[in-house]
Amino acid sequence: EVQLVESGGGLVKPGGSLRLSCAASGFTFSYYNMNWVRQAPGKGLEWVSSISSSGSSIYYADSVKGRFTISRDNAKNSLYFQMNSLRAEDTAVYYCARELGDCGGGSCSSAEYFQHWGQGTLVSVSS
């Protein structure tokens, strides 16, 4: 069974930092592109960042570019999100999400849809 478990959320002051983690199990983590998607309280979904299976390709939404850094450790089956210079508008539940399809076995059939999601971790930015 695919499991994604986020951790590291909490209350932080504006300008502060947090590091989110996502522990993956039940699948070959190194075969899959991974993403962070967030949802502000009572609002819709917002994609924030993607990282390819090898970590060689990384993308960010403009709203977080230059402040947040996505990374992964395939040996530890873990995804990370370093969040610096946090703002009130970054307050949200952050989900890690695995893409549909995989990039294993020498070929890539990944599609940028989110097939599996974690339960989310809440980040609150407030003074």
What is d(CA 125, CA 88) in angstroms, rounded to the nearest whole number?
A: 5
CB of 44 to another protein, least distance (A): 5
Instruction: Give the burial class of 67: count Cβ atoms within 10 A of its Cβ; 0-12 exposed, 13-18 middle, 19 or more buried.
Output: middle
Q: 83: which 2 tokens?
A: 């969040």
Q: Which of 23, 47, 67, 78 binds another protein (CB under 8 A)?
A: 47
Out of 19, 73, 88, 112, the residue judged to bind another protein by CB under 8 A: 112
Please tell me whether residue 59 binds another protein under the rule CB under 8 A: yes
Rank residues 29 and 36 by Cβ distance to another protein and give the closer one.
Answer: 36
C-alpha separations of 69 from 17, 27, 82, 86, 113 in Å: 11, 24, 5, 12, 21
Residue 46 CB, nearest distance to another protein (Å)?
A: 7
Position 50 contacts another protein (CB under 8 A)? yes
Q: Say whether residue 31 binds another protein (CB under 8 A).
A: no
